[in-house]
Amino acid sequence: MATERKKLLLRLDPAVHDALARWAAGELRSTNAQIEYLLRKALADAGRLPGGVGRMRGPGRPSATPDPDPEED
């Protein structure tokens, strides 16, 4: 079952936003996905990422055929 994603208003310096947007584009992510990726990485590096956190989709376009569900084996 998918859980609803939280919404957050984030105020950034315009130069920081522009740098994040360029970085995200270089990694084929949206700016929002790049921010989430960086936050997850920082939490994991600090040992503070909760165990029940779902996986993030990889960068780039989603594949045309969905990955097989590992639960169905």
Could you say which DSSP state residue 7 is in?
-
Domain residue ranges in the chain: 12-48
Q: Is 60 exposed, middle or buried (0-12, 13-18, 19+ CB in 10 A)?
A: exposed
Predicted confidence (pLDDT) per residue in 13-53, tens digit: 999 999 999 999 999 999 999 999 999 999 999 999 999 88
Residue 59's pLDDT is what?
Answer: 74
Residue 4's pLDDT is what?
Answer: 86
Residue 67's pLDDT is what?
Answer: 63
Q: Above 60 in pLDDT, residue 73?
A: no
Residue 66's pLDDT is what?
Answer: 66
Predicted structure pTM score: 0.72
Q: Is 29 exposed, middle or buried (0-12, 13-18, 19+ CB in 10 A)?
A: buried
